[in-house]
Structure 1
Amino acid sequence: MIGNLECWTVWFNIDNPGWTGDYEKLETLRNAGYKVCKQPEAVRCRTVHTHIDAKLTGRKLTCSPSVGFFCVNSDQDWGKTCLDYEVKFLCPCNYVDAPTKPPFDLRMAFALCFGCWTAWLDRDGPGGTGDYEQRDLFSRPICDRPGSVQCRRTSNHQAALKTGQKLFCTPALGLVCINKNQPSGQMCYNYEVRFLCPCPDGLTNVPPTSQLISSLPPLQSGIKNKPIVLYVVLGAIGILLTIIALVFIRFKIQRKRVLNVNERESDNTGNYESKIGEMEISTPPPSYSVAVMEMESEEL
């Protein structure tokens, strides 16, 4: 709704239907690190995979600009559970808490490492209220979650963020420059943008590594990051338990070897002593031999 200087946010999806339901509430989004205007004018709710309007899915749910979205499994008819939904909000384009960098997302990191840049796009001019190169307004479809965005002046290709003008340039939004926000009655320049999206047919066209690193968003704590931290902790615990198990098994094997050696030594010692005993029994003592000789001499 450009005439009213309003822009749609990116689609948010921080939860899944899980055990209790799907919750994409405004409060939860803000706690996760996403920034949404304080009073959205409107909201759109749809399924993640098929993009069907939430109200047409036959589920009992809430989709409200003041609350956001939530669907509770226990509220559904017998045999039905909530689907996976996503939401986006309509906010003023120049709202103070506009999202400059969204929380870290693995899909965004994947696009940065294995992505292709679109062509430079310029659908609007600075006339009227400003220059609006929003992702959702291009006639050519742009991927839902671009990994990065580049904004520059059309005339001399100067980076938009170095022009000194007040504007927004984000992967989720695209570029928005409003004339009335510029100092001293200045008008916005004419800008163009391009987005980094997953490559079609396995093609790659990745910018230099330094450019990728500079465009990576900072890691923030949030709901989406918790599973990643949990997996890392569980992995470390698994490795530690594996090491302990290996040490214990090695100790058991070594102890068994020592016991076997002791048993063999004990058996050898017993055999030796028994042989000595047999030798002592079979060999008559010297006194017995002398007595026999004396008896023989008397008989003679």
Structure 2
Amino acid sequence: MKPQCLLLVILLVLPTRASSCVTRWFDRDDPSGVGDFETTVDLRKEYPGQICSNPIEIEAQTVDGIPAGNTGQIFNPFNAAEGFACVNAAQKTGSCRDYRVRFTCPPEFCSGCTTRWFDRDDPSGVGDFETTVDLKKEYPGQICSDPIGIEAQTVDGIPAGNTGQIFNPFNAAEGFACVNAAQKTGSCRDYRVRFTCPPEFCSGCTTRWFDRDDPSGKGDYELTADLRKEYPNGICAEPVAISVQTLDGTPASQTGQTFAVFDATEGFACVNQDQVSEGKSCRDYKVRFSCPKSFC
């Protein structure tokens, strides 16, 4: 009877792990200062859109692959919501190892789709308010009911986390706000936001996958304007969202690469020289669009 019970437990656990998705490994800090801080809030700023809003689990290991739990060091915090931190002064040796982390996210985060960029406000008044409730009113049907993630950048493309400004709120449920009075300069930059939505948001009317370019030249350019020329009537006039993955099915958000364009209106572009990987080459990507039901 015992072996049968053990088998039952295994069968119950496996589907839960299989139904989730795991991010790439992140290593934003070294222990050369106070310690090694791989906190969720800092990682989201440095890697916008690559971590889900509500991670299920977090893993940590040294950069050479030793699980954090096997190093004998002390960590605080070490949870999915806050992230990971190792303080040098708390260790017997006086120094932390160099760690990296990755997150387990809901399955829809890996297969989700990304909306267009939205910019409904300017910082000319109290600040720049790109709140989810206001955006849904202004752009009905273009944002899912329960977004998984949110990204923010200046209108000229600088990630919000790189501007040094303060934001509250900055989450998928509430959206994004920058208050002028809270900034050292007394003024916010002009921001835009976009959301990651569950795959069912894209499934109402989804185009075929398009792959018109290869990264053999300057990069991989799957721009909407070019795709419309090559595939007339294949894409709706106002796409609701865009999904991007490599030709072998890896979601773009899991490749660790940087993208110059990733927008439902403009399309997608990966520039070879922007990549930090060896060889400075983009993967080969394909895209598809989610369109209003009227397009179907």
Taking structure 1 as the reference length, the TM-score comes to: 0.36
Which of the pair has more CA radius of gyration?
1
With normalisation by structure 2, the TM-score equals 0.36
* More helix per residue: 1
